[in-house]
Amino acid sequence: MKKIIIGKELTLEDVFAVATDESIQVDIDEKALIKVKKNRELVDNVLKQNKPVYGINTGFGSLSDVKIDNDKLKNLQVNLIRSHSAGVGKALEQPFVRAMMLLRAHNLSYGYSGVREEVLRSILFFLNNNIIPIVPEKGSVDASGDLAPLAHLTLALIGEGDVTYKGKQRIAKDVIKELGGKVLELEAKEGLALINGTQFMAALGCLALIEAESLTKHADIIAALSLEGMLGTFSPFDTRISDIRPHEGQKIVSKNISSFANGSEIKDSHKNCGRVQDPYSLRCIPQVHGAVRDAISYLRKTLSVEINSVTDNPLVFDDAIISGGNFHGEPLALAFDFASIALTELSSISERRTDKLLTPSFNGGLPAYLSKNSGVNSGFMIAQYTAASLLNENRVLAHPSSIDNVPTSNDKEDHVSMGATGARKLLSIIDNVETVLAIELMLAVEACTQRQPLKPSKELCKVIDIIRKDISALGDDRVIAKDINKAKSIINNKKIITEVRVG
């Protein structure tokens, strides 16, 4: 049984693994626990001194100037969780909640939040037993942390929230007792520590990133198939071109596309034709796909830092308790918006190739809409409409949420990141991109099939074989939606990039 240890550096792959595999167990590094216990003692000393320190014995947000008596601190923490559980919308799917729990526990395990070990053990009890708190997807502005989503998660820890356990929605307290666990009783600062952070948006971002990276690899393979289907030229992918404009993404894409041409009978069949230049959607694949890869690389870098950071407030150091702004989601918010714009461009260039595949003046003489009996049959005409519709939706969703600002907490929190909105939009864009690429994939395979007996490279033939196991060649018109969904499922399960070598 695989085990992940928090309290020392996590990778994005660790987060994805725990999110998607409920058999993985999570534990705490022993050295980290020493720090946790030591810094909790510092919080207890503040309480003994009875001096006002934000987050420990004061109110919150615009109420930070209100001193709270020690005998009311437990009640303060519970009230905080109840009042902040104001999320709305549908419940997050299990992988996102599992990722949230992992990241929240990891964040607290560094010790700078001043919580007890019991808080960490409570989160891990839920995670290791696959008890999934019901967390609504909407309600975070992500500046003073993902307050509402994390409050709903914490509400389950203290027994008051609802959870999903073994496929049924139940009251958290009942499941905890059934499994022999303990309902968490919050001490001073612990409620605030549990909700003050970016773990909701980071959890969504980690899973979005893995899917985005998969899509960039698929896009190169699919674009190469489109090139073959349209009798495009591979000369723009000469690596010497990218060597003198050496953006990392562009270099990788050029290498990928060039490798997919090796041994292609289709490419060799038209090497002496008079066609000099292809449209930009073919000729500029390295420049566009490469720029998208670079944007996604920036998201990876940002998330890698964020998941191993402390985003609580106030922070407990050896010699001081300091209030700051590490909870602010701006680093992630900007990265999500950048990735959203980039992936929208990926769907944009894919949709243009889809259109070219259906147009005889561009597709190397294949029939209109790839239908051998067009007129009576419409072929794949409306598949391109679907791609255009999803592209339009992506362009709307790609509007940056981070440039908006709605002040909260009586203007005390006067600049917020809206990063949680950015994370949710990114996931929607990814879903649309997957469908747009699925449509291009389906059409590109059809175009290559119509070139038979000529074949593309060995690697691309693998892709055709994978598609043809589930989607037959086009004859008379049929319900295209079923084929689109099958192609999308193939992309989603990553079988192509498992079988085909791609950088």
54 in active site? yes
Separation of alpha carbons 59 and 56, rounded Å = 9
User: Residue 439's closest CA among 341, 345, 355?
Assistant: 355
Q: Which of 54, 110, 112, 165 is catalytic?
A: 54
pLDDT the model gives residue 303: 98
Using only C-alpha atoms, what is the Rg of the chain? Answer: 26
User: Residue 425's closest CA among 388, 395, 447?
Assistant: 395
Is 380 in contact with 372 (CB distance < 8 Å)?
no
Q: How far is CA 181 from CA 101, 125, 157, 299, 413, in A?
A: 17, 7, 11, 38, 37
Instruction: Pick left, alpha or beta for residue 232 (phi over 0 → left; psi -120 to 50 → alpha; otherwise beta).
Output: beta
pLDDT the model gives residue 67: 82
Is 23 in contact with 288 (CB distance < 8 Å)?
no
Separation of alpha carbons 338 and 296, rounded Å = 8
Is 300 in contact with 252 (CB distance < 8 Å)?
no
Separation of alpha carbons 238 and 255, rounded Å = 8
Give start and end residues of each alpha helix (H) in 54-157: 73-84, 94-109, 117-128, 147-157
Rounded average pLDDT per 10-residue block, the chain, 503 residues? 93 97 97 95 87 79 77 89 96 98 98 96 98 97 90 98 97 98 95 95 98 98 98 94 97 97 91 80 98 98 98 91 92 98 98 97 94 90 98 98 88 88 98 98 98 96 97 95 98 96 93
- Can you name the CATH fold of 3-197? Fumarase C; Chain B, domain 1 (1.10.275)
Q: Is 389 helix (H, G, I), strand (E, B) or coil?
A: helix
Q: Which CATH architecture has domain 204-310+339-499?
A: Up-down Bundle (1.20)
pLDDT the model gives residue 412: 77
pLDDT the model gives residue 274: 66
Diameter of the chain by CA atoms? 87
Sign of the C-alpha dihedral, residues 136, 423, 140, 189?
Answer: positive
For 32-72, what is the HEC assignment? HHHHHHHHHHHHHHHHHHCCCCCCCCECCHHHCCCECCHHH
pLDDT digits (tens, 9 = 90+) for 288-310: 999 999 999 999 999 999 999 99
Predicted TM-score (pTM) of the model is 0.95
pLDDT the model gives residue 11: 97
Domain range summary for the chain, segments of one domain joined by +: 3-197, 204-310+339-499
